[in-house]
Amino acid sequence: MKSQYRVVVIGGGVVGASVLYHLAKFGWSDVVMLERRRLASGSSWHAAGGIHALNADPNMASLQAYTIDLLSEIEKESGQNIGLHMTGGLTLAGTPERWEWLQANYRIFQSVGIDDCELLTPEEAQKRCPIMSTDGVLGAMWADREGYIDTTGTVQAYATAAKKRGAEYYEETKVESLTQTADGWQVVTDKGTITCEHVVNAAGLWAKQVGRMAGVELPVSPLKHHYLITDAVPEVAAAEFEMPMTVDLEGFTYMRQDQKGVLVGIYEVDHEHWAMDGAPWNYGEELFQEQLDRIENELTLGFERYPSIQNVGIKTWVNGAFTFSPDGNPLVGPVPGKRGYWSACAVMAGFLQGGGVGKTLAEWMIHGEPEADAWPMDVARYGDFAQNKRYIRETTGQFYSRRFVMTYPNEQLPAGRPLKMAPAHDAMTEAGCKWGVSWDLEVPLYFAPKGFEETPTLKRSNAHDIVAEECKVIREGAGLLDISGFSRFEVSGPNAEVWLDKVMASKLPAPGRAKLAPMLGENGRLKGDLTVLNWGDGTWWIMGSYYLRAWHMRWFDDHMIDGVNVRDLGEEYCGFAVVGPKSQAVVEKLAEQDISDLKFMGCGDFDIGLVRARVARMSVTGEKGYEINCRYGDHIKLRRMLLEAGADEGIRECGFNAMLSTRLEKSFGIWSAEFTQLYTPGMTGMDRWIDWDKDFVGKEAAVAERDGNGPAQVQVTLEVDAVDADASGYEPVWSGGERVGFVTSGGYGHYTGKSLAMALVDRDKAAPGTELSVHVVGVERPARIIAPSPYDPQGKAMRG
Ligand SMILES: Cc1cc2nc3c(=O)[nH]c(=O)nc-3n(C[C@H](O)[C@H](O)[C@H](O)COP(=O)(O)OP(=O)(O)OC[C@H]3O[C@@H](n4cnc5c(N)ncnc54)[C@H](O)[C@@H]3O)c2cc1C
């Protein structure tokens, strides 16, 4: 072992070994992996080794598909047998809603390029898995790329392949402490000290402690998990083919063949955390005693699904632990505020996600950006609030218990909530507010009559008409919207303007003005769909999506220069927006200054009744609107005053559902839908805000796109002949049987009375009037491209 490396990877499980392999493969071979015991001696050795493509998050599904494809490559490269059995796999649907969901997902997988799936009847599924009972099964999805591997062999294969490419690894070498130095890290091990530029925390069950060695509190916890392996099952032994990997969602089990018997794994509804502060250092390769009382129900369902296993013995019980983040996705990437400290933890399914995690992290470290959109697993998708132990316990527990439970897009889950509430929260609840959550904050969805409960559904819900009324108020009267759920950053200091001019690709607004500002990465892809406000007193604001607060702050910090101070105002400012043609009449009644002077996209400090507020004349609804930003302490008063002042104008409180419907009628894109870090300005229409005459981050790549052949796909607005459901995102768009794009977001335009979708489609299919079709909840519906902004295309309402 040398005393200096470029990278030290801590942990020799499947994830650490994959990171090591990908670093070496992409050109960094001065890298070492340190393992306190033997390779795979954490969670990895006792995993069930199952690999399957299905994931409710399409980005994670793509990551899993990459990993599965990589496995045979690793085997070849290393010469190490990984026991790969590509049996194909089944996912069973046991309720009509689940069957609908599976059909919808089948189409969504097509959008993300997973084409090796097919839908099966229960009888067809049974033919492929003859030991399964079809009782209660309504349908199934088959995927070719599913099966299982030998876990220890796979870890060994990644490590051996990495070594062949010049990387090193050492077993029986424990990292004991970490110290940040001027240009990297000092890694103290029980075999000596190493200095390096980068450390990677791939410590699995011990990730929490290896985080704390660097002063990092990662939102991760281990939970226990059971599987059993049966003795030989005569039907399995006699079969001419291997049983496929089979996931019974309603039964909470997965099953695969193991020699002549089967392995049945259980996602216990009655979950159990273990060692929330990280596994003890003296924890070795032991397992926990099986806890049959905790899994009785799931076990019964499993035995009913595979009746032939009732007649054979159980050879082995495994009750082991593995780690989860609050949303079940990995925690990957540069840890904010800790230069050179990288996270590769909380990988719940290391054998089917580890390859993708290794690739993503290695690209990030070497090139500064991963190729794919890493947002769903970015460690910066959480803020400090997620360090709280109860938050971690509730959210990871909820994820685990619901691992196979269907979550509807309009369903609100309770874990870790309510956490942060804007001051007027209780008064709004009293007024009928139904709440959603963004990051840590409760955000209003809509206001309903007392006793109303929304039914979870994949289709239009019973809140449809309520939201329609709110949209009408926004378009015809005055709506009051709590806008605490926007992010606000204050930029100040002598170099504030210089810095903003560099990081934003747009022109900067003049004093007293606001401007839409795309922010780009060095690779020319989007990093933000922001609004910059110039208050005219030397301070500027950047406003954007609330849940991106830590993610954007990391970006700002990474691009900081002297003489600039960026402050996240998320704990100081909140506010209300008044939107609609009567908004001016409402605000005028309270403003001490002449509000009519404030033109579209103007901003300034105003006294709104007793509240000193920072007001901007803009609205994402496409109506005339005033965003009134106030200090947290003024929120209750501001709401009361606006409701009183607006009473004569029929002001009514509205929620984000109405805001989303109205923005869709204006073809205004939003982050995580029309805009992601995978898309470019040319694809999304963001190029129209770029100031090509100045220098800005990402200019070279943006110019190359502008002057090249143009993007392959561009953003369009679709009107869909939908019946009882609307598109939501990632549904495929077809032109005569050929897939030509996918939906980025969709919904019902209540005021225009149209089912609308925004989509990225091939450029030669993007002309208004083009007839296409879209799958909505698994059913193909005719659709056509319409001119953008079906409501008020000239923008008279918002400017008026
Ligand atoms: C019962 C069960 C069944 C499962 N089935 C599947 C499945 O079918 N498919 C699937 O994909 N996943 C499955 N998993 C999950 C899978 O096991 C994990 O996702 C995976 O092992 C995580 O790998 P890792 O490398 O992140 O962590 P680990 O395997 O825990 O590796 C971390 C390593 O870091 C080392 N380490 C920690 N601290 C230090 C230090 N300070 N210095 C040096 N070394 C250190 C540890 O010794 C350990 O070897 C299952 C898990 C369980 C418990």
Q: What is the pLDDT of residues 642-696, one digit of tens each?
A: 999 999 999 999 999 999 999 999 999 999 999 999 999 999 999 999 999 999 9
How far, in Å, from the CA of 345 to the mean position of ligand 1?
Answer: 9
Share the mean pLDDT of the chain.
96
Q: Is the pLDDT of residue 536 over 80?
A: yes
Q: Is the pLDDT of residue 57 over 80?
A: no
pLDDT at 113: 83
What number is the average pLDDT over the span 303-313? 96
Residue among 21, 43, 246, 316 to mutate when testing ligand 1 (max atoms within 8 A of CB)? 43
Q: Confidence class of residue 65 from pLDDT cuts 50, 70 and 90?
A: confident
Residue 349 burial class via C-beta count within 10 angstroms: exposed 0-12, middle 13-18, buried 19 and up: buried
Residue nearest to atom 45 of ligand 1 (CA): 11
What share of the chain in percent tops pLDDT 90? 96
pLDDT at 364: 98
pLDDT at 74: 96
| 456 DSSP assignment | P
Alpha-carbon gap, residue 756 to 784, rounded angstroms:
10
Alpha-carbon gap, residue 96 to 115, rounded angstroms:
24
How far, in Å, from the CA of 204 to the mean position of ligand 1?
Answer: 5
How far, in Å, from the CA of 40 to the mean position of ligand 1?
Answer: 7
Alpha-carbon gap, residue 14 to 154, rounded angstroms:
7
Q: pLDDT, tens digit, for every residue of 340-393?
A: 999 999 999 999 999 999 999 999 999 999 999 999 999 999 999 999 999 999
For the CA of 17, the nearest atom of ligand 1: 25
Q: Which amino acid is at 356?
A: G
pLDDT at 63: 85
What share of the chain in percent tops pLDDT 70? 100
How far, in Å, from the CA of 13 to the mean position of ligand 1?
Answer: 5
What number is the average pLDDT over the span 489-506? 98
pLDDT at 64: 87
Q: Are the C-beta atoms of 592 and 549 separated by less than 8 Å?
A: no
Q: Confidence class of residue 518 from pLDDT cuts 50, 70 and 90?
A: very high
Q: Is the pLDDT of residue 53 over 80?
A: no
Helix (H) or strand (E) holding 141: strand 139-143
Alpha-carbon gap, residue 705 to 220, rounded angstroms:
40
DSSP notation for 306-349: SGGGGGS-EEEEEEEEEEE-TTSS-EEEEPTT-TTEEEEE--TT
Closest CA to 654 of 643, 664, 645, 665: 643
What number is the average pLDDT over the span 180-196? 97
Q: Is the pLDDT of residue 25 over 90?
A: yes
Is there an atom of ligand 1 within 6 Å of 37 CB?
A: yes
How far, in Å, from the CA of 49 to the mean position of ligand 1?
Answer: 11
Q: Confidence class of residue 147 from pLDDT cuts 50, 70 and 90?
A: very high
Q: Is the pLDDT of residue 54 over 80?
A: no
Residue nearest to atom 51 of ligand 1 (CA): 47
For the CA of 173, the nearest atom of ligand 1: 43
Helix (H) or strand (E) holding 69: helix 58-78
Query: What radius of gyration do the chain's Cα atoms show?
Result: 27
Q: Is the pLDDT of residue 205 over 80?
A: yes
What number is the average pLDDT over the span 24-49? 96
How far, in Å, from the CA of 391 to the mean position of ligand 1?
Answer: 23
Q: Is the pLDDT of residue 55 over 80?
A: no
Q: pLDDT, tens digit, for every residue of 702-735?
A: 999 999 998 999 999 999 999 999 999 999 999 9
Is there an atom of ligand 1 within 6 Å of 33 CB?
A: no
What number is the average pLDDT over the span 392-412? 96
Q: Confidence class of residue 58 from pLDDT cuts 50, 70 and 90?
A: confident
Sign of CA dihedral 626, 631, 635, 641: negative
Q: What are the structure tokens assigned to 661, written together? A: 């419907």
Is there an atom of ligand 1 within 6 Å of 214 CB?
A: no
Q: pLDDT, tens digit, for every residue of 581-639?
A: 999 999 999 999 999 989 999 999 999 999 999 999 999 999 999 999 999 999 999 99
Backbone angles phi, psi at 612, to 5 degrees: -85, 115
- Cα 227 from chain centroid (whole Å): 29
How far, in Å, from the CA of 34 to the mean position of ligand 1?
Answer: 14
Is there an atom of ligand 1 within 6 Å of 264 CB?
A: no
Q: Are the C-beta atoms of 383 and 337 separated by less than 8 Å?
A: no
How far, in Å, from the CA of 624 to the mean position of ligand 1?
Answer: 54
Q: Is the pTM of this model over 0.95?
A: yes
Q: Is the pLDDT of residue 192 over 80?
A: yes
Is there an atom of ligand 1 within 6 Å of 49 CB?
A: yes
Neighbours of 735 (CB within 10 A): 16
Q: What are the structure tokens assigned to 173, written together? A: 């070498």
Residue 312 burial class via C-beta count within 10 angstroms: exposed 0-12, middle 13-18, buried 19 and up: middle
Alpha-carbon gap, residue 125 to 92, rounded angstroms:
9
Alpha-carbon gap, residue 368 to 635, rounded angstroms:
40
- Cα 254 from chain centroid (whole Å): 25
Q: Is the pLDDT of residue 286 over 90?
A: no
Q: Is the pLDDT of residue 112 over 90?
A: no
